Structure 1
C-alpha cells in the first residue's frame, strides 16, 4: 500500500523533532504535526526559560559575594518585565531555529492538532494524511486539582508570562518544578511560601540530597509548610488567601489550619499528565495506563505501526530521555541499527538554590537491592569560593558503593555547579566504575569536584 509519509509524528517537541530529523537523515519521507510553538515543553515552558530565570536569580548573591573579594557594594533592582521579555525573545529565537532544522531535514510541518482516523490515517485541521509508521510525541501538561477557588491559581507554564513580579508567592507541591520556581522567585526578591504534603521536598530522590536542599532553601529565606494539603483558594481585597490543613505544626497540636495571604498561587508541582485525551486513540488499538501510552522497550505501542516517546509515556520525563528514545526508534526503523534506550543510570539535576544533581541508585534503593553490602561515602564542606564571601554555604557529595564488587551504584551532589560535575561523574557510573577507579583518579586542585576522588 502507498502512503503519504513513511513516518508521521504527532508533536514537535524535543522527542518528536529528534525522531523526525533522524528518520529523514536515513531517507524517510517524514511529516510532523504541531498546534503550538516548536520545541515542546522544554523550549517553551520548561528547561530553557526556567534555566535563564535561574541565572537571573543568582545575581543578587553574586553582587553580595563580590564585596568579600574587594568589590564595592552594588545597588541593583530587578526589572521583571525586561527579564521576562528577554527570556521569551530567546524562546522565539529557538522556535525559529527548530523551524530551520525541520526545513533543512526536509521534514514537512503541518500546523494543527493531529488526530487518528485509523491506525494509518491522521487528520490535521482540514488535511488528512496517511503514514506507514506513526509516532506519538505529545508531551504532558500541568494538573489542576478540583479544589475550591482553583481558578485563582496559575500553573508553572504561566510563570513565564507574568507581567509583574509577585511580591508574595505561594508554591504548591514539593517536586523539582515547584522547588526550582520557589528558589528562582526567592532569589529575585519575592517572599515565597512552599506548601508540601510530606516532611521533605523532592520525593524519590536520595534522602541526604533532599535534606540538604531543603535546609539550604530555608537558609535562603523560603518558608516551607510541611505535611499540609490545600483546602481552598480565595481572592479578596487583601490578595489571594490560601488555606491549608496539616498535622505537624507543633508537638502540642497534631492538626492545624493556616491561611497564607499572597499575590499569586502557583500549582507548580502538583503533577503533570500526558496529553493523550484528544488524539482519537479510540480509533486505534493503542492502550493507555493512567493516561500514559503503553509502550515496549522499542517504544512500540499495542498497535503494531504506532510508537510513542517522551512524557506521554510517563517513563522518565526528561528532555534528553525523549531525544534518545526518538533517535533509537529512528535508528531501528529506518537506519538498520536496532537499539533500545537504556534507563539505567540516567543523570538528572534539580536547579534549586543550592543546586543538586544525581545519577544511579539512591541509598535507599541500593540497600533494598544489595542489603548490608552497601557502603556510603559522604563529604560535607564549605567550598573555597565562600570563604572570602563570608557565607556558610555547604556542598554535599555522596557515593553509594557495593562493597562486594566495589562498583559505584550512585553519585549525588548538592552545591554550586552540581549539574556540571555530575555530568562527568555519570560517564564513570554508566561505565561501571569502581570506588578504586575513583580513588586512582587524580583530583583537580583546588576544586569542589576533586572531593569525588578523595573520599575515604
Structure 2
C-alpha cells in the first residue's frame, strides 16, 4: 500500500500534462490525478494554435473571389460574418475539450477542476481546500501572454482576448514582432480589419533566417498591413470618444485605434505556485529550471512544457511528457531531443523552418547557401505579386543540410517532411539525387545546383 494518495499528481491540463497523465496511468499503471483551473486542452487547444489556425483558414478566403476570376469563375464577394464564425469556433473548442476530458477518464486519471499549488515535496493543495499527496509531482502549467510595463497598458488586449471580441474592430494596432504578432496581423488583415503593426526592432521575426523574414515582411506590406519597424508606443490613452485608444508612436505619429493588441511576449505560469520556498529554482522570467530529464532541484518535482521555457511548442511539451513517463514510471531514463525541431509560422505566406539560419550557420562553420525566390504558378497566373522562397544552408565540410527554410503557401506541410531529411543528416547530394515532383513549388528544393553565395 502506497504512503501517498497518488503515484503522480499533474498540475495543468494542457497537451503536455494530459499526455503525461494518460500514459502514466494507461500504460504504466500508475495512480494519477490531474488538476486544471481553467479549460482542458491548455493554450494550444483553447487559446492558441487550434483557434488561431482556424482563423487563418477563415482569413484566407478573402482573396478567393479575385483569384477565381482569373481562372474563369464568376463568383460574388460576400461579407465575413464574425459572429457566425465565432459560434462555430466555440463549438469546436468545446468538442475538443470534451475529448481531452474523456481521454483522461478513459485512462483512469482522476481530475480536479481546481487551481493546484505545491505545498510540499510530495504535497499539492487545491483551491477547494483539499490537500493531496503524491510520490511525484509534475508541473505543466504553461505560459500566459503579458502586457508591457507602460502606462495605461490595460487599455490594450492580449492574444487570449482576441477570440472573444464582440465584433471585429475597424482598426487594429498590433504591438510586437514575433510570430504571434505577425500571424494575427495576417489574420485580421484578411478578415478586413485595417491593421497597423509596431515593432521596436529593425525587422520582425527576430531569430529566424533573415532572407525568410525579409520576404514575410515584404509580403505583409504588399497585402496592406502597415508594418512599422523601429517603432513603439510612446503614449497611449483612452480616445476622446471613450471607446477607441489614442496612441502616439515613438516616431511622433498619433491616431486612434479601435483595439490595441499586445503580442510582446509570454511568461511561465509559476506565480503563487509555492515552488521557490521548497527549493525549486526559477529563472529570471519565472521559468522552472530543470535538467535533461525534466527534473527540478527537488527530486520529486518535475516540470515540462512552456513553464520550463525550453522550446515552447506543443509537440515538444508532448514529447517531454512522454520522456518523463519513460524515465520515472517505465525505468527507461529518456532525455528529450531538442535538436533540429521543425516549426511553422502561420503568417501569410507561411514560413517553415528547421535547423540553422544562414546567419547562425555562418557563425559556426564555412557554408554554402542555395536559395531561390519566385512567383508560384497559381498566383502568378492570377496576376498577383506573391513570391515564395526555397532555401538550403549546407556545410562545406560535411555537405550536410544544416538548415532548410521555406516561405510559401503550405510551408508548414512541406517543412514537416523536409525536417525528416534534415534530422536524418541528409546531405545536399541526397537532395540532388531525389527526382523533382513537377510542377510544384517544392521541386526547387531538389533542383538547385549552384550556390548563390558561400561564407
TM-score (norm 2): 0.96
Aligned position for 1:200 = 203
Alignment of 1:36-185 (within 5 A): 36-124=38-126, 125-185=128-188
Aligned position for 1:23 = 24
Alignment of 1:157-306 (within 5 A): 157-238=160-241, 239-245=244-250, 256-267=251-262, 269-290=263-284, 291-306=286-301
Greater mean deviation of Cα atoms: 156-165 or 223-232:
223-232
- 1:11 maps onto 2:6 in alignment: no
- 1:328 maps onto 2:316 in alignment: no
Give the SS at the match of 2:327: helix
Q: Is the 8 A contact 1:241 1:261 kept in 2?
A: yes
1:312 to 307, 310, 322: 307
Return the alpha-carbon distance in structure 2 between the equivalents of residues 185 and 326 of structure 1. 34
Return the alpha-carbon distance in structure 2 between the equivalents of residues 260 and 342 of structure 1. 47
Give the SS at the match of 2:440: coil
Aligned position for 1:380 = 373
Alignment of 1:395-406 (within 5 A): 395-406=388-399
Aligned position for 2:453 = none
Aligned position for 2:383 = 390
Q: Is the 8 A contact 2:174 2:185 kept in 1?
A: yes
Q: Is the 8 A contact 2:239 2:256 kept in 1?
A: no
- 1:442 maps onto 2:443 in alignment: no
Aligned position for 1:250 = none
- The runs of 5 or more residues in structure 2 that have no matched partner are 450-455
1:387/1:225 CA distance change after superposition, 3 Å: closer
Give the SS at the match of 1:243: strand
- 1:340 maps onto 2:335 in alignment: yes
Return the alpha-carbon distance in structure 2 between the equivalents of residues 376 and 84 of structure 1. 44
Return the alpha-carbon distance in structure 1 between the equivalents of residues 419 and 358 of structure 2. 16
Query: What is the deviation of 1:10?
Result: 0.5
Q: Is the 8 A contact 1:119 1:283 kept in 2?
A: no
Give the SS at the match of 1:427: helix
Return the alpha-carbon distance in structure 1 between the equivalents of residues 332 and 160 of structure 2. 37
Query: What is the deviation of 1:366?
Result: 0.5
Give the SS at the match of 2:252: strand
Aligned position for 2:412 = 419
CA RMSD of aligned residues (A): 1.0
Cα deviations by residue, 1:389-448 (Å, 9 ceiling, x for unpaired): 121111101100001110000000101100000100000000000000000011111111
> Which 4+ stretches in 1 moved above 3 angstroms?
none
Return the alpha-carbon distance in structure 2 between the equivalents of residues 224 and 388 of structure 1. 27
Corresponding residue pairs, total: 443
Return the alpha-carbon distance in structure 1 between the equivalents of residues 376 and 159 of structure 2. 32
Aligned position for 2:452 = none
Return the alpha-carbon distance in structure 2 between the equivalents of residues 236 and 178 of structure 1. 23
Give the SS at the match of 2:299: coil
Cα deviations by residue, 1:181-238 (Å, 9 ceiling, x for unpaired): 0100000110000000012100111101110000000000000111122122211235
Return the alpha-carbon distance in structure 2 between the equivalents of residues 446 and 45 of structure 1. 37
Return the alpha-carbon distance in structure 1 between the equivalents of residues 344 and 248 of structure 2. 31
Give the SS at the match of 2:35: strand
Query: What is the deviation of 1:328?
Result: 0.8
Give the SS at the match of 1:90: helix
Return the alpha-carbon distance in structure 2 between the equivalents of residues 330 and 18 of structure 1. 9
Aligned position for 1:357 = 352
Q: Is the 8 A contact 1:116 1:283 kept in 2?
A: no
Query: What is the deviation of 1:280?
Result: 1.1
Query: What is the deviation of 1:283?
Result: 3.8
Query: What is the deviation of 1:99?
Result: 0.4
Cα deviations by residue, 1:345-392 (Å, 9 ceiling, x for unpaired): 11111101111110000011101111xx20000011111111321211
Query: What is the deviation of 1:282?
Result: 3.4
Return the alpha-carbon distance in structure 1 between the equivalents of residues 63 and 231 of structure 2. 31
Return the alpha-carbon distance in structure 2 between the equivalents of residues 408 and 387 of structure 1. 30
Return the alpha-carbon distance in structure 2 between the equivalents of residues 442 and 345 of structure 1. 24
Give the SS at the match of 1:436: helix
Q: Is the 8 A contact 1:439 1:453 kept in 2?
A: yes
Query: What is the deviation of 1:148?
Result: 1.8
2:401 to 378, 389, 408: 408
Return the alpha-carbon distance in structure 2 between the equivalents of residues 208 and 89 of structure 1. 40
Query: What is the deviation of 1:336?
Result: 2.8
Q: Is the 8 A contact 1:67 1:73 kept in 2?
A: yes
Give the SS at the match of 1:72: coil
Query: What is the deviation of 1:123?
Result: 0.9
Query: What is the deviation of 1:285?
Result: 1.4
Return the alpha-carbon distance in structure 2 between the equivalents of residues 83 and 199 of structure 1. 35
Q: Is the 8 A contact 1:167 1:263 kept in 2?
A: yes
- The runs of 5 or more residues in structure 1 that have no matched partner are 246-255
Give the SS at the match of 1:44: helix
